[in-house]
Structure 1
Amino acid sequence: MAESSIALVLFGTFLALLLLGAPITVSLGVSALASFIYLEENPIKMVQIAFTSVGSFPLMALPAFILAGALMEAAGISKRLVNLAESFAGPFTGGMAAATVLACMFFGAISGSGPATTAAVGMLMIPAMANRGYDRGYAAAVTASAGGLGIVIPPSIPMVIFGISAIGLTVPPEAIEKFGTFQTVSISKLFIAGFLPAMVISGCLLTLNYFRCKKAGYMGTSDGWSVGQIKAAFKTGFWSILAPLVILGGIYSGFFTPTESAIVAIFYTLVVGWFIHKELKWKDLVHSLETTTWLSGRVLLILFTATVFGRILVENQIPAIVAESMLSLTQNTYLIWTMIIAFLLFVGMFMETLAAIMILTPVLLPVTYSLGIDPIHFGVVLICCLSIGFATPPLGENLFVASGISDTALEDITSKTLPFAGAMVVAVFVIAFIPEITLYLPRLFGY
């Protein structure tokens, strides 16, 4: 009964504040404080938990990856990746839209952020598609949908947050026997596990795009593929293509950790931007630092309060109660996955991604442990589900970004985005029901 009462105080206060329009950070912090007062604990404990939450070494990757993404856009790396993707469009039906999906994959391997990927690619590809006769609403919808790949393609900021959120969670004895004793989920393993799921989602988007463009009459160029144009795009984009290869190759070869790779990405971008492309200016560097400061501060505030919120959940055995409740309904893995995916899709429509990961990981991970689901597999499915939330109302950050770039009504973009969201949901179920899609590469590389 004590657990149910504290859950009522915690979630009741949280939901009430959200309904009143309070920011997510305020809602998390005040509900956690109300729970401490209800439990008659010293509120200073809340400050101590929040302070220690930023003492994690992997968390250093967060501002570094944000800065690397901002610098790469300023250094002209993202522009060259988009031009390379566009050169492959050629006579392919819906080729420009397909190139947009590919460009989002390329830039997602750098930025680790959905809205950043949408903004960087959309600023170049939406006008280009409009000039080729595409409806601006459709162009914006493709970009907003594919922008969600930014958090699935490694390196990914939400993957770092998921790894941190799994620290200290209670692992059932049967799970220890299967997965071994560990206190954290390997972020390097998460990174490599995200590749094939991202390919599955991209494949679903490209397939749907082909049929929708064929119906709408969005054809490719009549001249066919230009080998010269592709060679020129490769030549000018060589250092841009090399960026994700250097970063990810260094991680998987063991030269540096994911956290160190973020620092490598920054220095690589500075060298390319200043000495090779010669497009990076001091004002761009200052602007990138300002962007990093603002975004990092916003994320860390959520992290502070979400960590306290999650600690209260764990200390009061609420995740264990949720796990027992779900398992009492059914122990069929596919039904459990269906319930989890449906719940995550709903949450992703209303809650900011990083806050959702911090709150839900302590609640849902024990359920998957009990079913013998690999935590890496669960983490990738969680992030894939939440990536769809970037392109679904009412929160839909990518929708707002694409609407601003394309100067198109949000309602028009949303109606054209929903079929893509449906295709991504199908992809998520495939990824969840076939674990090998996620776990094949980590096993191949000996993780």
Structure 2
Amino acid sequence: MLAPMLIGVLVLMLLAVPISISLGIASMIPFALNPGFAFDASMFLRNSLSGLNSTITIAIPLFVLSGIIMAKGKISEKLFNIFSYFIGNMPGGLPCAVVVTCLFYGAISGSAPATTAAVGAMTIPLLVSLGYELQFSAALVAVAGGLGVIIPPSIPFILYSSAVSGASVGSMFIAGIIPGLLIGAALMAVAVWYCKKHGEDTQKIQAHVRVLHDKGLVAVLLDSSWALLSPIIILGGIYGGFFTPTEAAAVSVIYSLIISLFVYRTLKLRDLMDVFAEAASTYAPILFIIATASAFGRVLTMTQAPQIIATTLGTAFPNKIALMIVINLFLLIVGMFMDTTPAILILAPILAPIVTAVGINPVHFGIIMVCNLAVGFITPPIGNNLYVASTLTKVPVMSLAKKVLPFMAAFLIVLVAIIFIPQISLVLVGA
């Protein structure tokens, strides 16, 4: 039963059938082949609905909504200004400020494409006006936008936590901090290297930073403080035990509305319907994927897929290091062809028990999995961040794909360290 299901999903995806429909059809294959199989249409509907009946999943649409409100409220501009004030005059300072802005904005939106769109729409034109190459600027934002799924709060972390026992949302959020910061530092190192190699228009850059300095640190800091407080309130509230991740998502929505409508006044009441409509259209596909993936996962369990795959991999790769190398290469390939949401919902319940059996902490594996899949945001044919950056700049996707290679190399070097040094992920968790 397992082989026809997996082949069915693969064929349907190759035929460009939406992933939610592909999973739904594949879930019914065992029953179609064997009417005695205890998973009929009523069971499919029951499991699909039960997959949505989770407090954790409520956080996803709320974080999506919060991210869109922040984007419309031009919060990324406020963040960029404060970082530019401090490091703008350094070699590669403004590109580094873009990376740091993505780090902070990722802690607001929880989404890689949303981070790329919000930060890129403001920073790419600015970098180009200051003499930076268009392709470099777009590639930088596309790669740094991937930090949106690693820096907490992260929607993929929430999905992984809902799919894998032993990995709470709070633990995943805490575990993602150091890996996200290390990847951000690696991207900044590449940006500095690139700027030193190709040069910068220091006169234009200094003139831009001088405008911020003329305003004064207090003015710039006050203007950016509300934006800087957002991740502090969200993450501090979770880690301090004041509210759960789901409650934090609700707080994030309320906070983003207040500062966008009444503090910065960059959003009007008449804009809210468009914001809600965009949030609904963004979350609706995720909703259907979660529902059908729950049913698909139930069928996999009934066909003993995790046990079969675990036995196969354990026999073929008895060595722990060899097993991890194979799984990580597999995840990198999956990330090229499948979006993060279905990849986690389909593969996490299968792979997590396998790696846990060889002594790998499920939280550590969650970080590994999300970081692997994050590389897929900048690799064709999926490469969502590349498409977002391409839409913003009209630069062909393949041209951007070539430009991101040095950044991708730095990303992968840090990923290898994360894989083989568990404490990078677990030191803050205390595991």
TM over 0.5: yes
- For residues 108-257 of structure 1, the aligned pairs below 5 Å read 108-166=106-164, 183-218=165-200, 220=202, 221-222=205-206, 229-257=216-244
Give the whole-Å Cα distance in 2 for the aligned partners of 1:359 and 1:80: 38
Does 1:299 pair with 2:286? Answer: yes
Give the whole-Å Cα distance in 1 for the aligned partners of 2:281 and 2:172: 26
Give 1:219 deviation, angstroms: 5.7
- For residues 30-429 of structure 1, the aligned pairs below 5 Å read 30-40=25-35, 41=37, 42-166=40-164, 183-218=165-200, 220=202, 221-222=205-206, 229-429=216-416
8 Å CA contact 2:80–2:98 kept in 1: the answer is yes
Residues 321-374 of structure 1 show CA distances to partners (whole Å, capped at 9, x for unaligned) of: 212222223343322221111111100000011000000011110111111111
Q: 1:184 to 1:36 in 2, by over 3 A?
A: farther
Give 1:312 deviation, angstroms: 1.4
Give the whole-Å Cα distance in 2 for the aligned partners of 1:262 and 1:336: 36
User: TM-score under structure 2 normalisation?
Assistant: 0.94
The residue identity in structure 1 corresponding to 2:161 is: G
Give 1:257 deviation, angstroms: 0.1
Q: 1:230 to 1:331 in 2, by over 3 A?
A: farther
Give the whole-Å Cα distance in 1 for the aligned partners of 2:143 and 2:68: 21
8 Å CA contact 1:392–1:418 kept in 2: the answer is no
Give the whole-Å Cα distance in 1 for the aligned partners of 2:74 and 2:121: 13
8 Å CA contact 1:88–1:230 kept in 2: the answer is no
Aligned to 2:21: 26
The residue identity in structure 1 corresponding to 2:13 is: L
Give 1:90 deviation, angstroms: 2.3
Give 1:267 deviation, angstroms: 1.1
Q: 1:39 to 1:219 in 2, by over 3 A?
A: farther
Return 5+ residue gaps in structure 1 as ranges. Answer: 1-5, 167-182
3-state secondary structure, aligned to 1:442: coil
User: TM-score under structure 1 normalisation?
Assistant: 0.91
8 Å CA contact 1:112–1:156 kept in 2: the answer is yes
The residue identity in structure 2 corresponding to 1:19 is: L
Greater mean deviation of Cα atoms: 308-317 or 96-105: 308-317
Give the whole-Å Cα distance in 1 for the aligned partners of 2:359 and 2:45: 35
Aligned length: 423
Give 1:37 deviation, angstroms: 1.8
Give 1:230 deviation, angstroms: 4.5
Give the whole-Å Cα distance in 2 for the aligned partners of 1:300 and 1:214: 46
Greater mean deviation of Cα atoms: 420-429 or 133-142: 420-429
Give the whole-Å Cα distance in 1 for the aligned partners of 2:366 and 2:338: 17
3-state secondary structure, aligned to 2:243: coil
Q: What is the identity percentage for the equivalent residue pairs of Structure 1 and Structure 2?
A: 38
Give the whole-Å Cα distance in 1 for the aligned partners of 2:150 and 2:65: 19
Give 1:68 deviation, angstroms: 0.8
8 Å CA contact 1:122–1:405 kept in 2: the answer is yes
Q: 1:215 to 1:362 in 2, by over 3 A?
A: same
3-state secondary structure, aligned to 1:92: coil
Return 5+ residue gaps in structure 2 as ranges. Answer: none
Give the whole-Å Cα distance in 1 for the aligned partners of 2:177 and 2:318: 29
Residues 402-430 of structure 1 show CA distances to partners (whole Å, capped at 9, x for unaligned) of: 01111212221111012212221111110
Greater mean deviation of Cα atoms: 303-312 or 256-265: 303-312
Residues 245-302 of structure 1 show CA distances to partners (whole Å, capped at 9, x for unaligned) of: 0111000010000000001111112221222222221232111101111111110111
- For residues 11-22 of structure 1, the aligned pairs below 5 Å read 11-22=6-17
8 Å CA contact 1:14–1:27 kept in 2: the answer is yes
Give 1:218 deviation, angstroms: 3.0
Give the whole-Å Cα distance in 1 for the aligned partners of 2:307 and 2:222: 55
8 Å CA contact 1:73–1:79 kept in 2: the answer is no
Give the whole-Å Cα distance in 2 for the aligned partners of 1:355 and 1:399: 19
Give the whole-Å Cα distance in 1 for the aligned partners of 2:25 and 2:274: 33
3-state secondary structure, aligned to 1:81: helix
Give the whole-Å Cα distance in 2 for the aligned partners of 1:60 and 1:231: 38
Give the whole-Å Cα distance in 1 for the aligned partners of 2:244 and 2:108: 16
Greater mean deviation of Cα atoms: 416-425 or 383-392: 416-425
Give the whole-Å Cα distance in 2 for the aligned partners of 1:434 and 1:45: 42
Give the whole-Å Cα distance in 2 for the aligned partners of 1:145 and 1:428: 14
Does 1:436 pair with 2:423? Answer: yes
